Chains A and B, each alone.
Chain A
Amino acid sequence: MPFMNAEFSGRDRWMAKLVLSPTILAATFFIYGFILWTIWLSLTRSTILPSNHFVGLANYYDLFGSSRWWRSLSNLGIFGGLYVVISVGLGLGLAILLDQRVKAERLYQVVFLYPMALSAVVTGVAWRWLLDPGFGIQAIVRSMGFPHFAFAWIDDPDMAIYTVVIAAVWQTTGFMMAIFLAGLRGVSPEIVKAAQIDGASTGRIYLRVILPSLAPTFFVALVLSVGLAIKSFGLIIALTGGGPGYSTNVPSIFMYVFSFQRGEMGVGAASALMMLVIMMIFVLPFLYLDSRRQA
């Protein structure tokens, strides 16, 4: 009875839209509505509180005239680039190692994953101590008989951003490892067997057979790590406070400091929109690829 079925599914289609509607409303208002509000704020002379005094693009001129903002952008480039490459690379490496039928695999998993469970406020303190030349890694290595060993990046405005990379890699590599381990476990054993029968070495099998089949996994890992890089905030605040000076400022810190601490809300809003634009540049190609795969 096709007619009856069609009637029935029509009511269900309506139900599906109804169930989805709260999310549609929430997204429209709480994501796009708020972005529109921020756009408006960035065009006003808002200082310690929002105002409706329209000033055109003045905040954007201030923003791009600020050496601190340019430093924040270049830091994001350095930090984001290194962080994404290292955490994805290291995560993949650890996943491959764990995939070799390792004893105590779950123990290793937990050891690699646990930094995700700790609040950044305090891991920042622990890392600050470790990176401190006076009593951290430098002092420990020196006391082991290498008196000229030097590792004082955290005090060096040109190097401090790399300590942020270390701590951020430490915090989320385990998560990347879990994603890749999952991907590896999802590779069909048949194609691996086939390659083994052809006499390919383990390294070759990974390079030619397994990794190419992990393309969707790379997709997810890259999207998540790029997002984490751009949104990094708490850990940097706890580790370096954005310093020495403003040498480890990134856009998220710049935005927070200007909006809430310095009372330059208009400039802060302008910087937030620039952050969003940067993220879009990274994410849109991913969405395009995804839509192609769906089609």
Chain B
Amino acid sequence: MRTSSAFGPRRWLIYGLLTVAAVFFLLPFYVMLVTAFKTMPEIYSTGILALPDSLNFSAWIHAWSAATIGAASEGIHGYFLNSFILVIPAVIISTAIGAFNGYILTHWRFRGSNIFFYMLLLGTIIPFQIVLLPMAWVEGRIGIAGTLVPGLMMVHVIYGLAFTTLFFRNYYVGIPHDLIKAARVDGAGFFSIFFRIMLPVSTPIIMVTAIWQFTMIWNNFLFGVVFTQGGQQPVTVAINDLVDTVTSVHMWNVDMAAAIFAALPTLLVYLIAGKYFVRGLTAGAVKG
């Protein structure tokens, strides 16, 4: 317990402002949560902030295992699994390549390596809509069109490389070059320096990169809807199929429950790894 002098007006102001902000940030989630527990007649008759009459789990069960989405009435659980099958390799591969790229662009520079880095950065700002058609052409030619892995995974890896390279490059810039020089004098090579010197100090930036990539790939809709088919779609596509219809009946409680299910993995990542996120950013990514 703090003494009253420590908890003066300034503290009250800080907590007051934080609480106001928290209410603003939580309000939409609150609406989603209470709606998911309501029945359809309740949704039609009560206000959006009203608490449900009772904790009704039927919408949750329906969303998970019975809702009609695309080709089957089995809910979102299969699509949920698809997202994991996609995200895990995509995050690992793009992070690993980004780590090597960052290492090379900071400690194995060559003529033109900086120019290349700036050219790669364009990959962070390219409007994704323009890659849809040519990428579809490419995937068709190499025969991986419509597949979750490697088709969609490849797209995410390619367009994630600019970000992962940026993160690692900015982090590795902070590691003294003398360390690498000394190791080379001791006879260490390209790979042994990476695995013995760089990797052991990389945990924070690996966390940042992995969290960023996980969030971006898990929540991506545009690539998912275009580059997969036939029940291989990620969960965001399934949610959209539920929510974004025009001339059919809407069940908002199911929509909301499904959306919360779809968000759970990312929320868990933030809860468990959130502190690494800030710590990792602190350790270098934002120092430019």
Instruction: List A residues at the B interface (Cβ < 8 Å).
Output: 5, 8-9, 11-13, 15-17, 19-20, 22-24, 26-27, 30-35, 37-38, 50, 90, 93-94, 97-98, 100, 102, 106, 108-123, 125-127, 129-130, 135-136, 139-140, 143, 170, 173-174, 178-179, 181-183, 185-186, 216-217, 219-221, 223, 227, 230-231, 233-234, 238, 251-252, 255-256, 259, 269, 272, 275-276, 279-280, 283, 287, 290-291, 293-294
A50 to B137 Cα, complex, angstroms: 12
**Is A94 a contact partner of B21 (Cβ separation < 8 A)?**
yes
Residue of A whose beta carbon sits closest to that of B194: A19
Select A117's contact among B32, B108, B126, B263, beta carbons within 8 Å. B263
Contact with A along B185-202 (1 / 0, CB 8 A): 101011100000000000
CB atoms of A102 and B18 under 8 A apart:
yes
Which of chain A's residues has its CB closest to B186's CB?
A5
Cβ contact within 8 Å between B239 and A119:
yes
Question: Could you tell me if B286 and A106 are in contact, using CB atoms closer than 8 angstroms?
Answer: no
**Does A283 contact B101, Cβ atoms closer than 8 Å?**
no
* B18 near A119: Cβ-Cβ < 8 Å: no
Complex contact B278–A109 (CB within 8 A): yes
Contacting residues, chain A, for B258 (C-beta < 8 A): 122
Query: Once the chains bind, are B270 and A16 in contact (CB under 8 Å)?
Result: no
Q: Could you say which residues of chain B place their CB within 8 Å of the CB of A136?
A: 48
CB pair B285–A182 under 8 Å, yes or no, is yes
The prevalent SS among residues of A at the interface is helix
B26 pairs with A216, CB closer than 8 A: no
Q: How far is the CB of A213 from chain B (nearest CB, A)?
A: 10
Tell me which of A116, A135, A217, A255 contacts B286 (CB under 8 A): A217
Roughly how many angstroms separate A269 CA and B129 CA in the complex, as a whole number? 10
Residues on A with C-beta less than 8 A from B135 are: 30, 34
How far does the alpha carbon of A293 sit from the alpha carbon of B287 in the complex, in Å? 11
CB contacts (< 8 Å) of A26 on chain B: these are: 158, 161
Q: Which residues in chain B, 254-274, are within 8 Å of chain A measured between CB atoms?
A: 255-256, 258-259, 262-263, 266-267, 269-271, 274
Indicate whether A178 sits within 8 Å of B124 (C-beta atoms), given known contacts A16-B104, A109-B274, A125-B255: no
28 CB contacts below 8 A, A to B, read A15-B190, A16-B104, A24-B116, A26-B158, A27-B116, A34-B135, A35-B130, A90-B21, A97-B17, A98-B18, A108-B18, A109-B275, A110-B271, A117-B267, A121-B239, A122-B32, A125-B255, A129-B48, A136-B48, A170-B25, A174-B25, A185-B278, A216-B287, A220-B285, A223-B124, A227-B124, A227-B125, A290-B288
Within 8 A of A (CB), among B164-187: 165, 184-185, 187
A183 to chain B, nearest CB (A): 5
Quick check: is B31 within 8 A (CB to CB) of the other chain?
yes
Give Cα A53–Cα B138 distance, bound, in whole angstroms.
Answer: 22
| CB atoms of A276 and B131 under 8 A apart | no
Q: Which B residues from 1 to 25 make CB contacts under 8 A with A?
A: 14-15, 17-18, 21-22, 24-25
Which residues of the partner chain A approach B61 to less than 8 Å between Cβ atoms? none
Neighbour of B278 across the interface among A129, A181, A290, CB < 8 A: A181
Considering the chains assembled together, what is the distance between the CA atoms of A55 and B222 in angstroms? Answer: 30
Q: What is the chain B residue whose CB lies nearest that of A22?
A: B97
B55 in the interface (beta carbon within 8 A): no
Q: Which residues of A contact B108 (CB under 8 A)?
A: 12-13, 16
Instruction: Return chain B residues, CB-CB under 8 Å to A50.
Output: 133
Top 10 nearest A-B pairs (CB, nearest first) are A182-B281, A117-B266, A122-B259, A216-B288, A16-B108, A182-B282, A12-B190, A126-B28, A279-B125, A272-B130
